[in-house]
């Protein structure tokens, strides 16, 4: 389910509720919450939670904030793919992913990210020339 919104007559924004729902489900499972337990936390039925997680139904802003609070994540984490250029959301997502890592794992992951970034920047001019 995708909805488009028109702001001030010039900016159109569309939300992909399937993507948002998938992210909610992923974080819910990482928190070891069943749909039943989660539905009780947000005072909604398990069926409604299922509809949200599959993107079959949209949710109110109040429900969205309840979900973020129940999952203990900022709302921009749930909207990460919807936000353009959000370095804060990306940073928070990486922080969440590394939360359960050992110091050694964090060091290796950080080194890998630095290497990937350097490789991407090194090969970017080559890719631009071959994409023509």
User: Which burial class, exposed, middle or buried, applies to 48 when counting CB atoms under 10 A from its CB (0-12, 13-18, 19+)?
Assistant: middle
| Per-residue confidence (pLDDT) for residue 5, from 0 to 100 | 47
Domain chopping of the chain, boundaries: 2-99, 101-132
Tens of pLDDT, residue by residue over 54-109, are 999 999 999 999 999 999 988 888 887 766 556 766 777 788 788 899 999 999 99
Answer for the pair 28, 3: CB distance below 8 angstroms, yes or no.
no
- Count of other CB atoms within 10 angstroms of residue 79: 17
| Per-residue confidence (pLDDT) for residue 50, from 0 to 100 | 97
2-99: CATH number: 1.10.260.40
Tens of pLDDT, residue by residue over 20-37, are 999 999 999 999 999 999
Confidence of residue 128 (pLDDT cuts 50, 70, 90): low
| Per-residue confidence (pLDDT) for residue 132, from 0 to 100 | 45
More confident residue, 61 or 124: 61
């Amino acid at each position: 389910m995708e909805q488009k919104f028109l702001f001030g007559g010039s900016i159109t924004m569309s939300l992909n509720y399937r993507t948002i729902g998938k992210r909610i489900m992923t974080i819910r499972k990482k928190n070891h919450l069943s749909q039943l337990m989660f539905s009780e936390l947000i005072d909604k039925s398990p069926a409604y939670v299922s509809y949200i997680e599959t993107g079959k139904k949209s949710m109110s802003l109040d429900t969205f904030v309840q979900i973020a609070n129940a999952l203990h994540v900022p709302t921009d984490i749930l909207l990460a793919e919807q936000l353009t250029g959000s370095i804060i959301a990306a940073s928070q997502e990486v922080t969440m992913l590394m939360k359960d890592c050992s110091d050694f794992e964090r060091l290796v992951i950080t080194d890998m990210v630095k290497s990937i970034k350097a490789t991407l920047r090194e090969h970017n001019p080559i890719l631009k020339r071959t994409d023509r």
